[in-house]
Amino acid sequence: MKIYRSSAALGEFMRSRRQRLQPEDSGIDVLPGRRRTPGLRREEVAYLANMSVTYYTWLEQGKDLNPSPDILLNIGRALQLSGSERSYMLSLAEADSAAEAVPQVRVDLPLLQALAGQMDYPCFITDDTTDVLAWNRAAELTLADFGSMPARDRHMMNLTFLDADYRKRLVNWEEFARYTAAWLRTIFERSKRSPLYMERFEQLNRESEDFRRCWDLYEVKHDHVFAATLRLADGQELHFDIRSAGYIDHNPGLTWTIFVPRPGTGTEECLAQLLAVDRADGSRRREKPAQTDGIEQG
């Protein structure tokens, strides 16, 4: 995978979107004979985008041309990009011209943990390296035991693609893996300057065939809710809509992911019961007298 230069990434993304389109999707009359090119030809996209074939070809080849927003929007229309895909393409074009490092914002971990702890719905907060910085008890009971994990492994790249237990819990893991890869692609340009992020990214590239397959789909995270089904150890299934919010505590690198129970599935009631039992067990543990190893006190 060529992933370091934004101009190359822009060209690869344009090519992947061109190859998914068929001539009939764009109102192009197909001439007799077999087409050797999957999807649209470059000259067809150039015609639809009202530009020269040479210029469009150079963009796909990753040349540093600094295309204007109008040119990119014309290409977006020709390639029938969604709103999220257009935004992503524009971010790729802008990344090389804004290559200076993003200023680091101090992370207030106690505040993040307090925020997550206020919610009964499973949730966690991640940064641009995908580290899970804060979470609540509901997340530990339903998603993963974050508190017992070594800090080096407590990140979403590892959990999604390399953690077998997490994979077992997600009934619709395949869809979630594609969703995660699309999210990673969406944040890649602002995260790739982090050595830790790139170390983890390269580890996935080496060790996970599933990640390579999902990454090479060139999907971008859309601004919609993602449905996830979790299976607990006792076989009970919980159904959630995954929602996310960014820019937590004035930090653009933080993302708050919340698993909201899907209405009509009984998940909210099951979750409330799960938390009530856990609180009761916790109270009993706190009230239990200290062990004395059989020595009478007094």
Query: What pLDDT does residue 104 have?
Result: 63
Two tokens, residue 220: 């971008």
Percent residues over pLDDT 70 in the chain: 86
Asked whether the predicted pLDDT for residue 91 surpasses 70, the reply is: yes
Amino acid at 267: T
**Cβ atoms 123, 191 nearer than 8 A:** no
Does residue 298 have a pLDDT over 70? Answer: no
Of 122, 69, 126, residue with least CA distance to 92: 69
CB 242 within 8 A of CB 255: no
pLDDT of residue 100: 46
Please write down the HEC assignment for all residues of the chain. Answer: CCCCCHHHHHHHHHHHHHHHCCHHHHCCCCCCCCCCCCCCCHHHHHHHHCCCHHHHHHHHCCCCCCCCHHHHHHHHHHCCCCHHHHHHHHHHHHHHHHCCCCCCCCCCHHHHHHHHHCCCCCEEEECCCCEEEEECHHHHHHCCCHHHCCHHHCEHHHHHHHCHHHHHHECCHHHHHHHHHHHHHHHHHHHCCCHHHHHHHHHHHHHCHHHHHHHCCCCCCCCCCEEEEEECCCCCEEEEEEEEEEEECCEEEEEEEEEEECCCCCHHHHHHHHHHHHHHHHHHHHHCCCCCCCCCCC
Label residue 30 by pLDDT band (50, 70, 90): low
CA–CA separation, 118 vs 24, rounded Å? 52
| Under 8 Å between Cβ of 60 and 40 | no
Summarised one tens digit per residue, pLDDT across range 67-85 is: 888 899 999 999 999 888 8
pLDDT of residue 31: 53
Q: For each of the domains in the chain, give its residue range(s) and CATH number, in order of start.
A: 6-98 (1.10.260.40), 109-285 (3.30.450.180)
Mean of all residue pLDDT scores within the chain: 86
The answer to whether residues 189 and 6 touch, using CB atoms and an 8 Å cutoff, is yes
Q: Is the predicted pLDDT of residue 32 greater than 60, yes or no?
A: no
106 band by pLDDT with thresholds 50, 70 and 90: confident
- Say if CB 39 and CB 24 are below 8 A apart: no
Q: What is the pLDDT of residues 44-56, one digit of tens each?
A: 999 999 999 999 9
- Tokens for 115? 């925020």
Position with higher pLDDT, 290 vs 130: 130
Rounded Cα–Cα distance for residues 61 and 129 (Å): 29
Dist CA 17 CA 84 (whole Å): 13
Q: Assess whether pLDDT exceeds 90 at residue 1.
A: no
Range with lowest mean pLDDT among 137-141, 283-287, 292-296: 292-296
Tell me what pLDDT residue 33 has: 58
Predicted structure pTM score: 0.76
